[in-house]
C-alpha cells in the first residue's frame, strides 16, 4: 500500500526542472523577430500588475547623443550599441558589464551616433556565433563570448560596404542581408562566415533589368540615394525578404531624373537565397518630397474575407498604411491612383498621380486647413491662421516651388523609423507625428544673377538641406555648421567623411571625384568667386533658357513652430493608434505625450513629436517611450488606456525590448534624448516587477 501511495504521489507531484523553475526568454533579433512585428509572448507583466513596475537597473553608456538602440538579449546577456558605435555586453539580470568592443581600436577609428541595433547569428549545430555591427561604412564581426573582432571575417575582421549602416540587417540561413545609407542603391547579401558577397539587387536598374526605362538613360552610372536604410523583414519559411526603400537624390528636385524612378520608395519582395525580385509596389512615384519609406515592413497574419492571409504592412511618412498579401503582392484593399499638384519649376516633371489605399483610412490629418490653426492661445491662433493663408498647404503631395508652402504631413511623418507592432490577432499598433514643416525651393544661382562659384551648386543640392544654404548648420537637428570647418578638421578627414558618411550624414562614395572635390573646395573657401568675364564648364549662364535650364535646391528642413516653440497646428501633435487589419478599421486612437506646462494652463494633453516604436506583449500591454516628455508608458492594448508611466533620465527615442532571465520579465529602453530639442545623455533603463 505504501508503494502504491508513493507512486501516486510522485505522479501527481509537479515536476520542476531548473529550466522550468527559472525560464529564460531572449530578444535575439532587432525589433524582436525577423517578422519585425515587435511582439513578445511574455505575459508575466499584465494590466493588473503593471502599476508595480520599478527600475531594476540602469547603465550609463558614457556618451551623450541620440541613443536609439533596440537592444538584443541572448542567453542572459544584453548587447547594446552605444552612440559612438561601441558594443557593450551586460549581464541582463543586473547590468554588470561583461565586455566592451571599441571601434577606436580598429582601422576605422571611433564611430558616430545613430546606430539602431545589432545582428546576432548563431550556428545551432556547430556552436559558431557572432555579432555584426557597422562603423564608418565597414561591417565588423565580433565574438559574442569575449568581444573580440573575428579576424577571419572579411579583411582582418571587416568588409567595406561603401555605405553607412544605421539599421541592422537580417539573417537568412548563412547570409546577412543589408541595406545602407548613401551610395548607389542596392540590397546585398554577405556570407556570415567569410564576408563574401552572395548576391546583389540593383535598386537603380541596369540596362535590360526591370525598371530601367523608368529613369533617364544610363542613370545607374550617376544616380544615388536609394539605399534601404530602415531595415528589412523576413518570411523565413518561404525564404522571402521584404525591403523598404528610400527616395532618389536630390530628394526635392527631380529635373535630372525624369520618370517613376523604380525602385525608389518601394516595398520589394526578394528571394532571400538569390536576390531575385518576386514582386514590388511603388508607394511614391518620382518622389520630390523626401517621402522615403521610413520603417521596415511588418509581417502578420489576418482574417481577410473569410480566409487566413499572411500579410505585410508598410507604413509611410504621410500616415498611410499599405497592406499586401505577402506572397502575391496583391493589396488586401484597393489602392487608387489620385491626381496630385504639378510642379511649376523649370525642367521638373512631377508624376501626375500618387497611390492612396482605400483602407485603412489615414492615421493622421492629410491636409492643414484653416480649421487646423493652433488653439494654444488666441495670439498663436491668429499667427498660424495668417501663415496658412499666406503659405497654404496642398495635402500630402505639394509640388515644390519657389513659393513657401506648409508641408503637412511633414518630413518626419506620420510614421517614422520606430515602425509598427502587430499581435497574433492581426492588430497593428503604431505611433504618429503631426508636425507641420515648411517647404520652399531656391534657384541655384546668386541673387545678383552671376554664376555660382565651383562646387556651390552641388553643395546646395546635396548638402544645403542639412547644413544650410549659408553653411551655418542646424544645431537643433544636430547638423553642424561648416563655417571655418577647415580650422576643426583636416581636408583628409573631410574627404573621408564625404566618402564613408558618419552620424546623420550619408556617404557619397559613388559621387564623381571632381564633383566631390569642388564641394570640399567650396566649404573650405578655397575657390575664388567668379568674375563677370570668367565662366567654367558646367556652370549655367545667369539667365535661364530652353537650352540651359535652371536648377533648384531645397531651402532646408524647417519645422513650423509657434512663438512658444510648440508645433504650429491644433493638437493632437502625437498619437498612438491600433488598426484592426482583419477589417481595415481603426480600433482606437489616443494621445501620446504631454507638455505638463500646457496641462497646467488648462490645455488638454496635446501629444508630442515622437521617435521610436511600440512593443506589444501577450500580457496585453503596449510599451512605448518615443515622446518629448522623457516618459515611458504602458497602454492597455485592447482600449488604449494609459496604465502606467515612469520618468526617464532622457527621452526614450528608441524602441523597447522585453526578455526573461531566471523567471523574471524585464523591459528595457535606451534613453538618450536629443530629439525635439530635448536634453541629451545615454542610459539604459530596465524595469521589472519587484522580486
Q: How confident is the model at residue 502 (pLDDT cuts 50, 70, 90)?
A: low
- Strands 353-357 and 335-339, how do they pair? antiparallel
Cis amide bond preceding 263, omega within 30:
yes
Question: What pLDDT score was predicted for residue 358?
Answer: 98
Write out pLDDT tens, residues 238-255: 999 999 999 999 999 999
Chain segment 368-400, per-residue pLDDT in tens: 999 999 999 999 999 999 999 999 999 999 999
Residue 538 has pLDDT above 60, yes or no: no
Q: Does the pLDDT of residue 236 top 70, yes or no?
A: yes
pLDDT reported for residue 510:
60
Which pLDDT band, with edges at 50, 70 and 90, does 4 fall under?
Answer: very low
Which pLDDT score, from 0 to 100, does residue 124 have?
83
Residue 542 pLDDT > 60, yes or no? no
pLDDT, residue 480, reads 86
d(CA 644, CA 646): 7
Pair 493, 529 in one domain: yes
Residue 204 cell numbers, joined = 537603380
pLDDT of 11 reads 40
pLDDT tens readout for residues 327-354: 999 999 999 999 999 999 999 999 999 9
How many independent structural domains does the chain possess?
3
Indicate whether 26 pLDDT > 90. Answer: yes
- Considering the chain, what is the average pLDDT of its residues? 90
Query: Looking at residue 261, what is its pLDDT?
Result: 98
Q: What is the CATH number of the domain that holds 126?
A: 2.40.128.630
pLDDT of residue 545 exceeding 70: no
Residue that terminates a domain, selected from 487, 511, 538? 538
Which DSSP symbol is given to 479?
B
Q: Tell whether 9 is covered by a domain.
A: yes
Same domain for 620 and 687, yes or no, is yes
483, 509: one domain: yes
Name the pLDDT band for 447 (thresholds 50, 70, 90).
low
The answer to whether 63 touches 446, Cβ cutoff 8 Å, is no
The CB-side HSE value for 35 (13 A sphere, CA atoms) comes to: 19
| Residue 144 maps to a domain | yes
108-148 pLDDT, tens digit each = 999 987 899 999 999 988 789 999 999 999 999 999 999 99
| Parent domain of 16 | 1-27+35-70+573-691
CB 277 within 8 A of CB 292: no
Give a yes or no: residue 544 inside a domain: no
How many other β-carbons are positioned within 10 Å of the β-carbon of residue 104? 12
What contacts 446, CB < 8 A, 6 or more positions away? Answer: 452
Q: How far is CA 485 from CA 65, 127, 489, 629, 657, in A?
A: 21, 49, 6, 34, 39
Q: Are residues 488 and 600 in the same domain?
A: no
Residue 451: which CATH number? 1.10.760.10
Question: Residue 644: which CATH number?
Answer: 2.40.10.480
What is d(CA 456, CA 397) in angstroms, rounded to the nearest whole number?
28
Radius of gyration of the chain (CA): 26
Q: What is the pLDDT of residues 560-570, one digit of tens each?
A: 999 899 999 99
CA distance 544 to 555: 20
Nearest Cα residue to 118 out of 24, 27, 188 = 27
Closest C-alpha among 677, 639, 640, 686 to residue 659: 686
CA distance 189 to 177: 4
Answer yes or no: do 81 and 65 share one domain. Answer: no
**673 with 586, same domain?**
yes
Residues 668 and 635 both lie in one domain: yes
Per the CB < 8 A criterion, the answer to whether 300 and 311 are in contact is yes
Establish if 64 belongs to a structural domain.
Answer: yes
- Which of 192-206, 396-410, 496-510, 675-689 has the weakest average pLDDT? 496-510
Report if residue 301 sits inside a domain.
no
CA 150 to chain centre: 29
Is the full-model pTM beyond 0.85? yes
Is pLDDT above 60 for 487?
yes
* DSSP track, 71-85: -EEETTEEEEE-TTS
Query: Is residue 97, in this structure, part of any structural domain at all?
Result: yes
Residue 265 near residue 246, CB atoms below 8 Å: yes
Q: What is the pLDDT of residue 446?
A: 67
DSSP 375-422: -S-HHHHHHHHHHHHHS---SS-PPP-SS-EEESSBTTBSS-TT-EEE
Q: Above pLDDT 90, what percent of the chain?
A: 76
Domain-embedded: residue 49: yes
Q: Residue 668's closest CA among 93, 4, 259?
A: 93
The mean per-residue pLDDT over the stretch 211-226 comes to 93
Predicted local distance difference test score (pLDDT) of residue 679: 94
| Helix (H) / strand (E) containing 492 | helix 491-500
pLDDT at residue 650, as a whole number: 98
**Do 125 and 59 share a domain, yes or no?**
no
- Contact by Cβ (8 Å): 668, 657: yes
Please give the pLDDT value at position 467. 86
* pLDDT at 597 exceeding the cut of 90: yes
The answer to whether residues 125 and 19 belong to one domain is no
Domain stop point among 493, 516, 538: 538
pLDDT (average), residues 46-57:
98
Q: Do residues 46 and 87 share a domain?
A: no
Residue 296 has pLDDT above 50, yes or no: yes
Q: In this structure, are strands 441-443 and 552-554 parallel, antiparallel, or unpaired?
A: antiparallel
C-alpha cell at 23: 525560464
Cα 191 to Cα 121, 174, 198, 277, 348, distances in angstroms:
11, 6, 6, 20, 42
Question: What is the average pLDDT across 354-376?
Answer: 98
Q: Is residue 293 a part of any domain in this protein?
A: no
The whole-angstrom distance between residue 214's C-alpha and the CA centroid of its chain comes to 26
Bridge partner residues of 309 (DSSP):
302
Residue 678 has pLDDT above 50, yes or no: yes
Examine the domain organization and report whether 518 and 578 are in the same domain.
no
Q: Indicate if 470 and 520 belong to the same structural domain.
A: yes
Could you tell me whether strands 657-661 and 664-673 are parallel, antiparallel, or unpaired per DSSP bridges? antiparallel
Of 112, 173, 53, 202, residue with least CA distance to 496 = 112
Residue ending a domain, among 519, 538, 557, is: 538
Amino acid at each position: 500500500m505504501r508503494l502504491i501511495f508513493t507512486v501516486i504521489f510522485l505522479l501527481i507531484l509537479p515536476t520542476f526542472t531548473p529550466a522550468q523553475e527559472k525560464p529564460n526568454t531572449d530578444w535575439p533579433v532587432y525589433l524582436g523577430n525577423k517578422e519585425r512585428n515587435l511582439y513578445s509572448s511574455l505575459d508575466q507583466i499584465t494590466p493588473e500588475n503593471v502599476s508595480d513596475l520599478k527600475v531594476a537597473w540602469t547603465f550609463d553608456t558614457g556618451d551623450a547623443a541620440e541613443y536609439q538602440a533596440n537592444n538584443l538579449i541572448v542567453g542572459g546577456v544584453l548587447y547594446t550599441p552605444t552612440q559612438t558605435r561601441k558594443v557593450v555586453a551586460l549581464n541582463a539580470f543586473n547590468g554588470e558589464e561583461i565586455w566592451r568592443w571599441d571601434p577606436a581600436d580598429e582601422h576605422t577609428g571611433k564611430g558616430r551616433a545613430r546606430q539602431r541595433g545589432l545582428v546576432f547569428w548563431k550556428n545551432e549545430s556547430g556552436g559558431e556565433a557572432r555579432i555584426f555591427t557597422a562603423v564608418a561604412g565597414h561591417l565588423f564581426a565580433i565574438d559574442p563570448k569575449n568581444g573580440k573582432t573575428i579576424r577571419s571575417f572579411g579583411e582582418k575582421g571587416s568588409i567595406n560596404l561603401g555605405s553607412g549602416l544605421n539599421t541592422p540587417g537580417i539573417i537568412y540561413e548563412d547570409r546577412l542581408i543589408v541595406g545602407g545609407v548613401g551610395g548607389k542603391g542596392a540590397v546585398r547579401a554577405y556570407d556570415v562566415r567569410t564576408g563574401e558577397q552572395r548576391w546583389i539587387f540593383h535598386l537603380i536598374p541596369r540596362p535590360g533589368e526591370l525598371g530601367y526605362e523608368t529613369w533617364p538613360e544610363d542613370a545607374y552610372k550617376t544616380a544615388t540615394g536609394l539605399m534601404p536604410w530602415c531595415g528589412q523583414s523576413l518570411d523565413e519559411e518561404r525564404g522571402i525578404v521584404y525591403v523598404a526603400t528610400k527616395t532618389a537624390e536630390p530628394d526635392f528636385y527631380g529635373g535630372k531624373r525624369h520618370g517613376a524612378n523604380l525602385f525608389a520608395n518601394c516595398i520589394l519582395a526578394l528571394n532571400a537565397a538569390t536576390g531575385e525580385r518576386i514582386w514590388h509596389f511603388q508607394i511614391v512615384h518620382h518622389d520630390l518630397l523626401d517621402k522615403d519609406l521610413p520603417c521596415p515592413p511588418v509581417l502578420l497574419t489576418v482574417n481577410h474575407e473569410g480566409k487566413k492571409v499572411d500579410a505585410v504592412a508598410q507604413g509611410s511618412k504621410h500616415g498611410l498604411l499599405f497592406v499586401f498579401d505577402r506572397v502575391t503582392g496583391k493589396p488586401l484593399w484597393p489602392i487608387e491612383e489620385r491626381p496630385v499638384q504639378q510642379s511649376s519649376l523649370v525642367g521638373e516633371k512631377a508624376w501626375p498621380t500618387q497611390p492612396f489605399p482605400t483602407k485603412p483610412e489615414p492615421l493622421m490629418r492629410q491636409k492643414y486647413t484653416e480649421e487646423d490653426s493652433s488653439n494654444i492661445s488666441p495670439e498663436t491662433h491668429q499667427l498660424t491662421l495668417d501663415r496658412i493663408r499666406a503659405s497654404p498647404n496642398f495635402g500630402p503631395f505639394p509640388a515644390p516651388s519657389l513659393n513657401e508652402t506648409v508641408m503637412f504631413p511633414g518630413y518626419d511623418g506620420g510614421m517614422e523609423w520606430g515602425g509598427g507592432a502587430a499581435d497574433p490577432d492581426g492588430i497593428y499598433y503604431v505611433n504618429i507625428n503631426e508636425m507641420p514643416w515648411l517647404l520652399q525651393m531656391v534657384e541655384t544661382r546668386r541673387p545678383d544673377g552671376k554664376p555660382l562659384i565651383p562646387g556651390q551648386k552641388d553643395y546646395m543640392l546635396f548638402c544645403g538641406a542639412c547644413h544650410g544654404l549659408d553653411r551655418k548648420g542646424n544645431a537643433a537637428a544636430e547638423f553642424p555648421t561648416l563655417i571655418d570647418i577647415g580650422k576643426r578638421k583636416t581636408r583628409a578627414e573631410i574627404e573621408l567623411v564625404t566618402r564613408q558618411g558618419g552620424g546623420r550624414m550619408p556617404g557619397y562614395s559613388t559621387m564623381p571625384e571632381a564633383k566631390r572635390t569642388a564641394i570640399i573646395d567650396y566649404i573650405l573657401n578655397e575657390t575664388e568667386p567668379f568674375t563677370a568675364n570668367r565662366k567654367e564648364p558646367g556652370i549655367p549662364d545667369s539667365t535661364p533658357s530652353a537650352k540651359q535650364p535652371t536648377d533648384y535646391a531645397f531651402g532646408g528642413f524647417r519645422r513650423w513652430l509657434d512663438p512658444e516653440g510648440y508645433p504650429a497646428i491644433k493638437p493632437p501633435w502625437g498619437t498612438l493608434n491600433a488598426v484592426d487589419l482583419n477589417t481595415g478599421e481603426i480600433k482606437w486612437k489616443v494621445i501620446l505625450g504631454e507638455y505638463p506646462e500646457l496641462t497646467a494652463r488648462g490645455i488638454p494633453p496635446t501629444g508630442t513629436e515622437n521617435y521610436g516604436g511600440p512593443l506589444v506583449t501577450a500580457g496585453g500591454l503596449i510599451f512605448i517611450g518615443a515622446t518629448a516628455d522623457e516618459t515611458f508608458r504602458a497602454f492597455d492594448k485592447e482600449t488604449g488606456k494609459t496604465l502606467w508611466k515612469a520618468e526617464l533620465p532622457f527621452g526614450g527615442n528608441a524602441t523597447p525590448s522585453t526578455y526573461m532571465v531566471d523567471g523574471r520579465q524585464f523591459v528595457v529602453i535606451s534613453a538618450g534624448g536629443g530629439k525635439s530639442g530635448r536634453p541629451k545623455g545615454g542610459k539604459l533603463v530596465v524595469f521589472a516587477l519587484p522580486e
